[in-house]
Structure 1
Amino acid sequence: MRTTRFLPRSAGALPAWLHTALCALCALSTLGAAAAVSAAQLRATLITPEDDRRMERRRVERAYLGHPGGPLADGLRVALDEAQFELEAAGSQVLLASASAGSIEAARAAAVAAEKNGATVLLTDLPAEWTLAVADAVKLPVLNLSEPSDRLRQQDCRARLFHLIPSERMRSDALAQLLVARKWNKLLLLVGANAQDAARAATAQASIRRHGLQLVASKPFKLSADPRERDLANPLLLTAGSSYDAVWVIDSDGEFARTLPYRTVLPRPVVGDAGLLALAWHAQFERYGAPQVARRFAKAAKRPMQAQDWASWMAGKALAATAVAAPKGTPAVWAQTLAQVTLDGSKGVGLEFRPWDGQLRQTMLLSDGQGVIAQAPIEGVLHPGNALDTLGADAPEKLCPARR
């Protein structure tokens, strides 16, 4: 790079000491520019869905608790901006690109194109099947930012697939721990009509059994415009006929669940997808530097930080930590380093990826939407290694064949 030197005009020659100092400054400037050009570049590509139904104006305005509130690229940018000083000091850069896909085939093609263009890490905000297609199409590490499906951590796991968002089982274990601590042992389970709700209900029941709770009844509900099916979503009818300590509702869409609290036959708490939720993040969390994180995000994105935003922010921190730890790394070195980094998620403990399923260990926040009621693991829950592993599948279960 050619550097232009600006010298003051003078009737005579410059003093020798000033000439020497200026030359030294110019040399340092040239070296700095050369270092910037030669900085190791960790290239990442974020793949998102086209015409994302979650981002429809009506859904965003309703602000369903636990649902995304805006594009996940916002969290990535905030994290990379925060890490810029460390990256420059290490002589590294993280370059973020984006691509969108309207189908599973397009997602696969976007992943292949990103790899050909020099990407060393892929990030996905995609449904489960699309995420698997991306992971199978490339030989790069893939960071899952938003899909909580347990199958991605269990029978359909991949060796290079990492998860920033908590799994469904982590969320249900967190709720079950709180129910045990409160002695709300008898549960009524209400389950939505779609396949996603059925899978999540099975996960909830696994957590109920794991923690010794009692399922007194499981009932389906269905929202319908057909007058003949109106009773299928009637809270009074659904919550009658049983004695229970709490109602656990599974509603991935969110429309029915948001109307359930305070409409049950018995005066009982609601948990699951309404009432009390287990989340990766809530903007009102007030410990471990969390308020500062929430304020920085809100200032940059002009909206509150949601759980998915925290996951994308953590992904940005993981990329930056990898680039700093291995500033001259190759893609293979970066992939290995990524699996071993310890991250500060403003939750009070160091967070790492579990070697047996690629899931980021993390504290869960239990929130009613107004604030954080409790944190899981709940105090008193024990584990022989790490209490965070009481949330989600543990190592002895060996549910991920690709990582055994």
Structure 2
Amino acid sequence: MIDRIARSWLCIAGLLLAGAVQAGTLTLGVVERANDPRLAPEHLASGYLGHPGGPIRDGVEVALKESKFSLDAAGLGWKLAVETPSNVAEAREAAKRLQKAGAQALVADLPADELLALAQATQLPVFNVGEAADALRQQHCGPNMFHVLPSERMRADAMAQFLASRRWMRILLLHGPSGDDKARLAVVQSSAQRHGLKLAAVRPFELSTDPRKRQAGNALLLTSGVDYDVVWVVDSDGEFARSLPYRASLPRPVVGDAGLVALAWAPYFERYGAPQLAHRFERAAHRPMLDNDWAAWMAAKTVVQAALSRPQSALSVDALNAEALDGFKGVRVSYRAWDRQLRQPLLLTDGQGVIAMAPAEGVMHPANVLDTLGADAAEGLCKTPH
């Protein structure tokens, strides 16, 4: 009996590209940011749309508890091993410790450079649930990295499809001064062009206590002197964006990082069994389920399904890419073979309800309409996962 269990778990080790496995225990490594400024009380109190509301371990734990019956039936227990690196070197060491501790996969919410270091230091599959940068799916993709959180390109495509479907074609594009804002600005401009939207103007903003820069943060001045159908704001920090709705010089909607935002999840989504998932999470974590929480939950569900569905045979990367999963968003979701991004519908929300879903109605694709969000196979720059 012990030999059979050991052989079964060796198969699961191959299935998940893992190292040594403790028989009878599914071990997930959870890697979170040390002293995460996004989780500071004053930041959480502002309720920035698209920003995390708590640690990702909450989503992982909910997923594993939901799977308890299936895991018990398979004779498997589970445990979490949590690491909180604060720099690239610590991320590498965290990966090595988790692999040595018998983790079969890592669920990570780290900045891009630390995430890359984590993935490069191990052969374990690493599920990215906190970083949307497209470069991680393209130039810097890795053979063991899976992306559950939507990319910036996916979010921009979702919003651009929605605007095109409403015939809101002229955009006033406002962007912040940070490096993240500039990179995301280029993505938005590309998506707008791809969907036939016109840029009425592109204007930078800056929040500063310097009186000489006060006009650079004045919403009324920034939105004056040009005609447009919608204001699209790119603000990774969120502080300027949250003050923009209803302050533009024209009575126009705001989208992007405030007003209407494209996200993986919203706690008030009312279709496809989503309320039940949201309620289970809120009961367990005592807070609403947000974007990163859903991504962490989905990552853990991916690992559990892989461990349960093919216990007697090793699962290749291609097979894992082909796994169909239930994300409570109306369709089965799966990982793209060319960049290991989870293809999924996105929710367009104003923070109080879900206004629409993307892909927009009427959008077509020769294979899978979900692949209209983000880099498609023919344009992907990632070569490693194939």
Which TM-score band (shorter chain)? over 0.9
| C-alpha contact 2:232 2:256 (8 A) present in aligned 1 | yes
Percent identity, please. Answer: 54
> What per-residue deviation string (whole Å, max 9, x for no partner) do you get for residues 152-184 of structure 1?
011111121001100001000000001001100
Q: Residue type matched to 2:260 in 1? A: L
2:343 paired residue among 345, 356, 361 = 361
| C-alpha contact 2:318 2:337 (8 A) present in aligned 1 | no
Structure 2 residue aligned with 1:10: none
Alpha-carbon distance in structure 2 between the residues aligned to 1:173 and 1:256: 23
SS at match of 1:370: coil
Larger Rg: 1
Structure 1 residue aligned with 2:76: 92
Alignment coverage as a number of residue pairs = 370
How does 1:2-401 map onto structure 2 within 5 Å? 40-327=24-311, 333=315, 338-401=320-383
SS at match of 1:395: coil
Alpha-carbon distance in structure 1 between the residues aligned to 2:257 and 2:74: 43
| C-alpha contact 1:187 1:246 (8 A) present in aligned 2 | yes
Deviation at 1:49, TM superposition (A): 1.4
Alpha-carbon distance in structure 1 between the residues aligned to 2:120 and 2:303: 21
SS at match of 2:378: helix
Alpha-carbon distance in structure 1 between the residues aligned to 2:23 and 2:177: 52
Q: Residue type matched to 1:360 in 2? A: L
Q: Residue type matched to 1:390 in 2? A: T
| C-alpha contact 1:326 1:337 (8 A) present in aligned 2 | no
Q: Residue type matched to 2:132 in 1? A: P
| C-alpha contact 1:91 1:327 (8 A) present in aligned 2 | no
Q: Residue type matched to 2:337 in 1? A: P
Aligned alpha-carbon RMSD (Å): 2.0
Alpha-carbon distance in structure 1 between the residues aligned to 2:240 and 2:56: 26
SS at match of 2:113: helix
Alpha-carbon distance in structure 2 between the residues aligned to 1:402 and 1:323: 24
| C-alpha contact 1:153 1:359 (8 A) present in aligned 2 | yes
Q: Residue type matched to 1:72 in 2? A: I
> What per-residue deviation string (whole Å, max 9, x for no partner) do you get for residues 79-108 of structure 1?
100011111222334432111111111011
SS at match of 1:403: coil
| C-alpha contact 1:124 1:145 (8 A) present in aligned 2 | yes
| C-alpha contact 1:351 1:361 (8 A) present in aligned 2 | yes
TM-score, normalized by length of structure 1?
A: 0.88
Alpha-carbon distance in structure 1 between the residues aligned to 2:30 and 2:117: 15
Gaps of 5+ in 2: 1-7, 9-21
Deviation at 1:337, TM superposition (A): 5.2
Alpha-carbon distance in structure 2 between the residues aligned to 1:319 and 1:402: 21
Deviation at 1:334, TM superposition (A): 7.5
SS at match of 1:286: coil
Structure 1 residue aligned with 2:5: none
Alpha-carbon distance in structure 2 between the residues aligned to 1:41 and 1:303: 29
Alpha-carbon distance in structure 2 between the residues aligned to 1:85 and 1:337: 25
SS at match of 1:400: coil
Q: Residue type matched to 2:161 in 1? A: Q
